Amino acid sequence: MNLEQISQDRIVKESKSRAFVRQNMSTLSIFGILLAISIFFSIMTNSFLTVNNSLNIIVQVAPNIIVAVVMTFVITTGGIDLSVGSVLALASALTAVLLSNGFGSLATLIIVLIAGIAVGLINGFAIAQFKIPPLIVTLASMIYIRGLALLITGGYSIAILSEYSISQLGQGRVLGVPIAVIFAAIFVALGILLLRSTKYGNYVTGIGINEEAIRRTGVNTVKVKIMTYMLSGASAALAGIIIATRLGSGSSNIGNMFELDIIAAVVLGGTALFGGAGTVVGSVIGVALIGIIKNGLTLMHVSPYIIQITEGLVLLFAVILNVRVFRNKK
């Protein structure tokens, strides 16, 4: 190979590197912020970088990652799902109630997942078929699903005994790795594959860019959107089961502000808030960032009210950053 060929190869590699950085600038920026915040908390607290705390963070964010992966698809279509926190609460409540009334673990798992899928089906059908704005549909779902969870439990927490095999979803380990983390990893891998390498992923992105153009190519956009919201409901239900079995109780009060954490994570990670571009890896980084901020502030003994204020500011920052990034790309 002569010098001219070497020079050409180097130019090609450099251009590819620049293109990669340009296309993933928002995700890389958030990853840089994640590293900076991690360094800050490691300096401010002695317990942040310990193995136990790191495992604790991973286990706590695993359900969030599961929902964030699917929320990436929802937002990429140009939609939004505000009901995931309430579906999570409903799943938690249903799991405890069904088990306490003699249902087996497998039957409980199936029923709860079907309930989550049903919520997604209703949301998706109203949004796709009747053209009602996703914000309105899922806001209504957020309210009535939370009310249903309260009705089922009467507002009380219901114990879930560890003797049930379903409890392994929240407490079990395989070769030392928490099952919840394994599920999160599977969702991430499948999410990346679906979004990047399948027709479904192309349709999801295309709908976010120009739904009418995609529809005219023969794609059933109504079916794609309904399927996406059904997946969102199922992921929130699974997350609810994992959290309930990890805590050992089902409650209608869990999942408050959960949907905002998920949306903030997804838009922080680089998914376009108004659709047309999504990144599963970025969403995972966004979830990790929010989880680390909460954990670090807790270790610093910061008031929970300050933590809530911080969450709100992170969401605001995420929206502003997202809008500016994708406005500049147009």
Mean pLDDT in residue range 270-279: 88
Range name among 94-98, 119-123, 164-168, 315-319 with the lowest pLDDT average: 315-319
C-alpha torsion sign, points 236, 238, 241, 242: negative
Looking at the chain, the whole-number percentage of residues with pLDDT higher than 70 is 90
Q: pTM score, two decimals?
A: 0.91
pLDDT of residue 24: 65
pLDDT of residue 15: 55
**CA 297 to CA 283: how far, in whole Å?**
21
Residue 92 tokens, joined = 């938690």
Range name among 69-83, 182-196, 240-254, 268-282 with the lowest pLDDT average: 268-282
pLDDT of 273 above 90: no
pLDDT of residue 297: 92
CA 25 to chain centre: 21
pLDDT of residue 291: 94
Mean pLDDT in residue range 2-7: 49
Tens of pLDDT, residue by residue over 90-120, are 999 999 999 999 899 999 999 999 999 999 9
pLDDT of 86 above 80: yes
pLDDT of residue 44: 92
Mean pLDDT in residue range 158-168: 89
pLDDT higher at 49 or 5: 49
Residues in the chain, overall count: 330
With a CB cutoff of 8 Å and minimum separation 6, the contacts of 224 are 77, 200, 203, 204, 207
Mean pLDDT in residue range 157-171: 90
Tens of pLDDT, residue by residue over 113-138, are 999 999 999 999 999 999 999 999 99
- Given a contact cutoff of 8 angstroms between Cβ atoms, the answer to whether 220 and 90 are in contact is no
Range name among 43-47, 240-244, 324-328 with the lowest pLDDT average: 324-328
pLDDT of residue 214: 93
**CA 213 to CA 282: how far, in whole Å?**
27
pLDDT of 55 above 60: yes
Question: Cα–Cα distances in Å, from 15 out to 18, 20, 156, 165, 178?
Answer: 5, 9, 59, 53, 41
